[in-house]
Amino acid sequence: MSLLLTGATVVASLHPPTLVGGDVLVSGGRVAAIGTGLDQAGSAQRIDCSGCVVVPGNVCAHTHAYSALARGMPYHLPPPTSFLEILQRVWWRLDRALDLPAIRASGLVAAREALLAGTTTLVDHHASPNAIDGSLDVLAAAFEQVGIRSVLCYEVTDRDGPERADAGVEENRGFLRRVAEGRWPLARGMVGAHASFTLSDETLAACVALAHEARAGIHVHLAEDQADEADAEARFGLRAAHRLANAGALSDASLAAHAVHLTAAEAEVLRASDVTVAHNPRSNMNNAVGRAPLAWLGPRLALGTDGIGADMFEESRAAYLRLQEDGLDTPAGWPLTALTEGSALAGRLFDEPALGRIEVGAPADLVVLDYAAPTPLTDDSLASHWIFGLSAASVRDVLVGGELVVHDREVTRVDADELALEARDESRRLWERLERIGPHPFSPNLAPASAGGT
């Protein structure tokens, strides 16, 4: 089916900001034409976008969809006093409570909320140590059912024992094979690894070997907290980024999430490796882990949410304001540059270099924003409108691969009421299992750093 979006202001590119006039014709899943007087024969379905703004779909470069059922989750343990305790008492309990039905419900909820926020690709980092086998297929199926692109991996870690670490490697291996066979058209895969402080040398080497075998990148948490660095120095006499680099885990196909506690030398390693870094400002604030040294991290800096939804308008606004707090010289267009890097990452994984732009031949991942700009909307003013005006509340329609997956603020592929009912039922069962699970016993080596650490 062909679609004709008429009467909108079209943002052809976020970086550099480029606005064009005219209609957008979508055919065969791609942008077929931009201009006036299109589709004279009248065969395309017309969507009136008068007074609206059409933008490329956003990419969330790092998230955890399994957190979708954690909203309002009961908590009866002593409050965490550190990031490590947050993991032990909250997230490492939740992931052990997950089963395949809960994973499916989490994926459906996360995908629906992402699309309604104008996010058309999720780069997810999944963990479910008591339901590893088939978990990525369940997640991919849920995402495809709703109609969103995804990049998936299973979080390999030694914190739940060597058997589960091996099973995590095999889950990544099998999923990458099924993606290569074309089973999941809207999904791609990476090799997931938790973080240096929960990875033995043997398990890290297995992840790197699989990445090389499958020609895939590694998606890993890096220096989110000082515990990651302290453990690397105590066990290996190296900082975390140097350990990962020495193991061959960092390349131009890799994705490192957070990168908060890096030294200048570690940041240079990331830049030299062309690693994409996913900055997650709201999560960093929520977990009180500190501020990433953004000025050091190079041009491949994207934005993620770390599981706090998938609203990239809100995330980019938080990123801008948090950086502006450090000084009044933050370019308003900085978040648009980071969002463009997220699209570039997804574009490389889907072999779609024009993903994230609205141009002839580009995949039609588009968002129609019902936004009556109160001041002129131009190339020069787009960044300011993005930060101080546009929001997920403006999202009216969403296309992924040319298909209308959100229309008039409702997802088209699933029944929202049925989805909500399923999610509430699964969340109750998930929370009941969670109550029977105690804090995770795993703890990194937090001995004082050696004098020789880099």
Tell me the two tokens of residue 263: 């030294």
Instruction: Give tens-digit pLDDT for 70-81.
Output: 999 999 999 999
Question: Residues spanned by CATH 2.30.40.10 within the chain?
Answer: 3-56+358-411
Name the CATH superfamily for 3-56+358-411. Urease, subunit C, domain 1 (2.30.40.10)
pLDDT, position 448 = 64
Alpha-carbon span 107 to 256, nearest angstrom: 22
- The tens digit of pLDDT for each residue in 320-367 reads 999 999 887 888 899 999 999 999 999 999 999 999 999 999 999 999
Separation between Cα atoms, residue 120 and residue 443, nearest integer Å: 36
pLDDT (tens digit per residue) in 226-278: 999 999 999 999 999 999 999 999 999 999 999 999 999 999 999 999 999 99
Give CA–CA dist 55/346, Å, rounded.
16
As annotated, the residues of the chain forming the CATH 3.20.20.140 domain(s) are: 58-349
Q: Which CATH architecture describes the domain 58-349?
A: Alpha-Beta Barrel (3.20)
d(CA 320, CA 331): 9
∠ CA 7-13-15 to the nearest 5 degrees?
145
Bond before 16 cis per omega within 30 degrees: yes
